[in-house]
Amino acid sequence: MQVTSPVREPLVTGGKTIHDVTEDVCSRVEQAPTKTWMLAITASIALLLVGAYAVWRTLWDGIGMWGLNKTVGWAWDITNFVWWVGIGHAGTLISAVLLLFRQKWRTSINRAAEAMTIFAVICAAMFPLVHMGRVWIGFIWALPLPNTFGSLWVNFNSPLLWDVFAISTYFSVSLVFWYIGLIPDFGTIRDRAKNPISKAVYGALSMGWSGSAKAWMHYEAVSLILAGLATPLVLSVHTIVSFDFATSVIPGWHTTIFPPYFVAGAIFSGFAMVLTLMLVTRKVYKLEDYITLTHIEYMNYVIITTGSIVGCAYITEFFVAWYSGVEAEQYAFINRMTGPYWWAYWSMMACNVLSPQAFWFKRVRRSLVLTFILSIIVNIGMWFERFVIIVTSLHRDFLPSSWAMFYPTMYDVGFYLFTFGLFFTLFFAFAKFFPVINMAEVKSVLKSSSGEIADKK
């Protein structure tokens, strides 16, 4: 019996050459902004300005403008913080972990994913800084720095301080990794630039990149070292974020399953956001030959896997609560299902557990429209997950006399919209002025993973 090994689908289609890659990517940077881009960034800036009013009122009048009360001291602020940190998780996974495992399909999507990480972490950092009440001295309060307020030092036993170190490290390594990857492409744009201002700007950004064999050797060595440093961050960052809850004694929080559960959820939501952005970028910038159905299908595989892990974690939480024999713990989970916030719990289950199962079908995995819709549904579900964990655990704890409901105000919603405006403004600016695809890495896999040979035949 003769068995013919199936040939993998090409990662770059259309018979692209090295010159085509340079032209297709650089032309988006060199051309004047399109009407679509102008409309998109105008809408994002408008959203940013609308949300800025909520931020200003919060800073001027205090966080009493939010819907917090003496029972629910955390609500939308910490929900959105954890959600944005999770959004930024896929960038490090795609860039670092898949690089170490020599996965070639990452090359067309890693640049945008890395940028998304940077912007999402900036949005996440807004919430704890504003929650402090005085953003201008937030770094003094959050970092172990000498200060003029007497013997005021941070509490190293607090997981909130662990967050500061974990996320600042994550942001720093991700920023350096992203910028190092941009240097060869900046050098290409510099060499093509005709405008003296553009030539000077991209020349400065390229840091004297020469493209020599020695420069490439150092570039690849630094990339591998940074990937090795960043890989533990994929596990550590959201693990430490989960410690905000797991180290407490609040029913529904005090559980050891949170670290792996939060990491899987972060990768789950991060990949969903990468899909949302890349599908739009692919269409607007006509990059269908570089971001192919194969890339989208592989990302959907990751969503199926992490979504299933998250679903198992939901079931395990109920088992642990039942097995513990602690009435308060058992009640916390019954209250999630049947209490006043039942709608949030069942929205979470529908979005995070049921909707990703559609990706088991190849037709759905390779459908652009369905993938786009499901990627948005997943991120809605992940927001509800954080809301359910935080609010339903706080609003009814050990003492019935302290039970209370949380109702968001327009300033809660406005601050959330502000971060959306900030995120999309930064991403649209990145997509216009920076190469949205890593030209150097796509060229390195072009010969072994393009459809050029098949097209010629």
Q: Give the pLDDT score at 304.
A: 94
Looking at residues 124-129, what average pLDDT do you find? 90
Q: Which position has the token pair 């991403």?
A: 427
More confident residue, 456 or 399: 399
Of 65, 47, 45, 69, the closest CA to residue 57 belongs to: 65
DSSP state of 206: T
> CA 143, CA 164: separation in Å to the nearest integer?
8
Mean pLDDT of 110-132: 90
**pLDDT score, position 180:** 92
* pLDDT attached to residue 448: 64
pLDDT at 95: 81
Give pLDDT tens digits for 295-352.
899 999 999 999 999 999 999 999 999 998 889 899 999 999 999 999 999 999 999 9
pLDDT bracket for residue 150 (50, 70, 90): low
State CA 409 to chain mean position distance: 26
Per-residue model confidence as pLDDT tens digits over 64-103: 899 998 899 888 999 999 999 999 888 888 888 888 888 8
- Work out the pLDDT band at 147, boundaries 50, 70, 90: low
Judge contact between 91 and 270, C-beta under 8 A.
yes
Give me the DSSP letters along 109-138: THHHHHHHHHHHHHHHHHHHHHHTS-GGGH
1 located within any domain: no
DSSP 3-state assignment of 330? helix
Mean pLDDT, all residues of the chain: 88
The pLDDT value given to residue 455: 46
Do the domain assignments include residue 407? yes
Contacts of 280 (CB under 8 A, 6+ apart): none
Residue 385, pLDDT above cutoff 90: yes
Q: How far apart are the first and last CA of the chain?
A: 28
Residue 365 confidence (pLDDT) above 70? yes
Range of the domain at 57: 18-456
- In whole angstroms, give the CA distance from residue 97 to residue 37: 32
Residue 409 has a pLDDT of 93
Instruction: Quote the percentage of the chain above a pLDDT of 90.
Output: 53
Residue 347 tokens read as 């929205």
391 close to 72: Cβ distance less than 8 angstroms: yes
* pLDDT tens column, 273-282: 999 999 988 8
Give a yes or no: residue 358 inside a domain. Answer: yes
The domain that holds 76 is classified in CATH as 1.20.1630.10
Question: What pLDDT score does 148 carry?
Answer: 67
The span from the CA of 33 to the CA of 285, in Å, is 11
Could you identify the residue written with the tokens 């170190």? 165
Amino acid at 389: I
Q: Is residue 13 part of a domain?
A: no
Q: How many domains does the chain have?
A: 1
Nearest CA-CA partner of 223 in 114, 116, 312: 114
Instruction: Convert the pLDDT of each residue in 235-271 to its tens digit.
Output: 888 899 999 999 988 888 988 899 999 999 999 999 9
Query: Is 376 contained in some domain?
Result: yes
For the cut 70, the answer to whether the pLDDT of residue 397 exceeds it is yes
Domain annotation covers residue 128:
yes
Which band of pLDDT confidence, cut at 50, 70 and 90, is reported for residue 362? very high
**What does the pLDDT read at residue 3?**
56
Report if residue 367 sits inside a domain: yes
Between the alpha carbon of residue 143 and those of residues 52, 76, 138, 164, 305, the distances in Å are 26, 24, 8, 8, 37
pLDDT of 6 reads: 59
Find out whether 96 and 180 touch, Cβ atoms under 8 Å.
Answer: no
The dihedral built from the CA positions of residue 419, 236, 91 and 387, taken in this order, carries a sign that is: negative
Confidence of residue 149 (pLDDT cuts 50, 70, 90): low
Task: Tell the residue number behind the tokens 């960052």, with chain if given.
Answer: 237
pLDDT beyond 70 at 449? no
Which residues neighbour 221 within 8 Å (Cβ) at sequence distance 6 or greater? none
CA–CA distance, 132 with 341 (Å, rounded to integer): 28
Q: Is residue 8 part of a domain?
A: no
**What is the pLDDT at residue 451?**
55
Cβ proximity of 290 and 12 under 8 Å: yes
pLDDT tens digit sequence for 12-52: 888 888 888 899 889 888 888 888 889 999 999 999 999 99
pLDDT at 457: 42
Q: Determine the distance from the C-alpha atom of residue 171 to the mean position of all C-alpha atoms in its chain, rounded to a whole number.
A: 12
Are 445 and 12 contacting, i.e. CB atoms less than 8 angstroms apart? yes
